[in-house]
Amino acid sequence: MSTAFDAGSVRIRVQGDGARVIAAQVVSQRPQVARVLKGRQADAAATMVPLVFSLCARAQGVAARLALAAARGDESSPRLDPDIVREVMREHLWRWLLDLPVLFGRPPLRDQFTSAVRAVDVGDGEAVQALLAAPEMSRLIESIMALEQPAQQASALLHIDSAQSSLTDWPQLGDELCQTPTWRGQATETGAYARSSGTSVSVSGAFAVRWLARLAELEAWARGAQQIGAGGTASATAVAPGVGRALVETARGLLMHELVLEGDRVADYRIVAPTEWNFHPRGPLSGWLIGRPCADAAELRRFAAQAVAALDPCVRWELTLESLQQM
C-alpha cells in the first residue's frame, strides 16, 4: 500500500550567546495519522494501521487489533507477543550494528546485522550471544563509554504495568496527551532504559546508560530470560462500552492506542507514540544541550546527533542554531 503520510520530525532549536547554548526548544511535529481512521469500518482500519507506520509496524498492528478487540469486550492481560519481541530485537540490533558505528565514523556492521537478524527470526539465542561477545561489540561499548556526554541525572521513567492499570492515570486519551504526553504531571521517558527502571546498567554517562539498556534487553532475550514488562509486552482493556485501549512496549518505548466504536465503524482513534514521550519539550534533550559550546556549529551538531540517537526518535530530526545577534 502506498501512502502520502509524512511521518513528521523532531525539531530542535537552540540559541547561543556566541560561546554556549543558553536556550533549547524541542518540539515533536507529527501529523495525527489516527484521524484518517475515523469513520472507517473497524476491521479495515485495524488492517490499515501497520501499513501506515513504517517503523514498528508489527507493534502498531497488534496495538490496533487489541484495542479493537477490547472495544468489543475481549480484553488481554499483559503477555510477551513473540512477533513484537522479534521486532524489538531487530530494532535494537539495527541501532547497535548499523546506526551506532556511523556515529563514530565507522562503517556499519551489515554482515553481523544480517546474521543476527536471521538468528533472532529463528530463535537462535546462542548465535546472538556470540555476536554480543564479539570484539566489534566490545569496541562499540568502549566508544560509548569514552564519549563526552552529560552525567546521568535522576529522571522520571515511565512504568505502566498494563492497559488496565493505565486507566488510573489516564481515564481517556485526549489530544494534549497524544501530542505532549505527561505522567503524573511530569515529562517522562520511556523505552529500554525506563523498562529497566534505570538499574540494568551502572555507568555515569546519560547516553551510555540508554544504549546499554538496549543491549541488556538483547542479552536477556538471547539467554531466554525475558520477562513480562520487557520490550514486546502487550495488553488491552475496555475503557468503556465500545472503547478499547491497547498498550505495547516497542523498541523505543510505550505505545498506546485507544479506539472508539460506533456500531462497526471507528468514531475516534488516538495514538500516543514513544517519540512524543522521549522528545517532550521538558524532556532530557534540552537539558543536555543547554550549556554546550556553540562556537563550532559542526561540533554542536555532532553532539546533538549523539544525544538524539540516545533517545532514538522514529522520525527525522532537524537542528537550528540561532545566535543572539540573529534574534
Nearest Cα to Cα of residue 97 among 136, 149, 51? 136
Report how far residue 140's alpha carbon sits from residue 145's, in angstroms, rounded to the nearest whole number.
9
Helix or strand (DSSP H, E) at 276: helix 274-278
Tell whether residue 271 is among the known ligand binding residues: yes
* C-beta atoms surrounding 319 within 10 Å: 17
Question: What is residue 91's DSSP assignment?
Answer: H
CA distance to 77, 182, 258, 261, 307, per residue, from 240 (Å): 17, 22, 11, 10, 40
CA 56 to chain centre: 9
Beta strands 316-323 and 265-272: pairing type? unpaired
Which residues on adjacent β-strands are paired with residue 85?
Answer: none
CA 55 to chain centre: 10
Tell whether residue 84 is among the known ligand binding residues: no
Contact 13, 322 (CB under 8 A): yes
Tell me the angle at which helices 82-94 and 206-223 cross, rounded to the nearest 10 degrees.
140
- What are 42-47's contacts with CB under 8 Å, separation 24+? 42/68, 42/71, 42/259, 42/261, 42/264, 42/265, 42/266, 43/68, 43/264, 45/259, 45/266, 45/269
CA 178 to chain centre: 14
Contact 49, 71 (CB under 8 A): no
Mark the binding-site residues for Ni(2+), compressed into ranges: 314
Mark the binding-site residues for Mg(2+), compressed into ranges: 271
Mark the binding-site residues, compressed into ranges: 271, 314
